[in-house]
Amino acid sequence: MKQLFLEILSFILFTLSSCTFFSGQAQTEKLIVQLPQWPPCDAYKKSYPELSRWLIKTSCGDSFFTLDASLTFYIPKNMPFAVTAQPLTKLTILPEEECSFFKPAGLVYPSRKQYITWEDGFLADIMLRLTYSKKESGITDEHIQDFLSSFNWKKAQDYINNKLTKALENTDLDNQKFYNPWLCDCTSLLTCLSFGEFNTNLLANSDSFFLSTESLPSPALSSFVLENAFIALKQSLLIHKDCPTLFYTKEDCGIIVEGSSPKNLSVRHTFMPIFLKDNTIYEDNS
């Protein structure tokens, strides 16, 4: 009788442990993602500075550096997750330092599962900012996931993708329209999202204008990598009104453009920003 009891108990424990194991497996997904090509394959390919390494950040709070072409994550299946990959480039004058000029590429899961892209960089960064701010407020991870799940990230990304596709596929040289999500009013966007409010007007480039590159140093590279293909084709830059906009020229130098219109403008030369190492960042030596 005792032996039978032990066998039944062992069977129950085995069953429970198996359910837990398979349940855990069902709730987790292995995500293998590819990083973008560097230098980007556009007309300015030879003008980009050399890559030093990628700075990776995730909505789970992880931060690390890598030179790998792909990354592997184990994440909750079908739950919002974001990763950004910012290219840190080498400086010519100060080879021991790195430059943090270019905006990150990104991935917003589950709408994208294989590639970290420049198109997704802005929205992935927004998800990271929201996640970090909620964590700092003491909100639990479970409630953060519920909050992020309430927003249609795919719809917002589709809106950005459509705007970018129209700009980059347009071969009409008289049409100077481009769209840069990084020039949106991020403060208003983050505030509205924090209160569960959103409309596509928050993603507009309403306070921007275009400027011909004729009187500027060449090349003048945008921090948003996808804009550089447009600059090469249309010979014009997208400028945020009354807000300093930095462009990379060459050999650690750049120009800061600021003004309210092409006729009311100031241009000054500057050195490129040096990446400041954060104590929360750690080297990935695995």
Residue 142 domain-assigned (yes or no) = yes
Contacts with 67 (C-beta within 8 Å, 6 or more apart), sequence order: 51, 53, 54
Q: Classify residue 20: in a domain, yes or no.
A: no
In a domain, 11, yes or no: no
Domain presence at residue 259 = no
Range of the domain at 163: 35-204
Q: How far apart are CA 252 and CA 163, in angstroms?
A: 31
Whether residue 88 lies inside any domain: the answer is yes
pLDDT in tens, 247-279: 999 889 999 999 999 889 999 999 999 998 753
Does 230 map to a domain?
no
Any domain includes 272:
no
| 130-176 pLDDT per residue, tens | 998 887 777 888 888 888 988 889 999 999 999 998 888 765 555 56
Inside any domain, residue 7: no
72-76, 102-106, 126-130, 211-215: range with lowest mean pLDDT:
211-215
pLDDT for the residue 127: 94
Q: Count of alpha carbons within 13 Å of 79, Cβ hemisphere only?
A: 18
Q: What is the pLDDT of residues 168-209, one digit of tens each?
A: 876 555 556 789 999 998 889 999 888 888 888 899 888 889
User: How many domains is the chain partitioned into structurally?
Assistant: 1
pLDDT at residue 198, as a whole number: 85
Find all residues with CB under 8 Å of 72, minimum gap 6, and list them. Answer: 30, 31, 32, 33
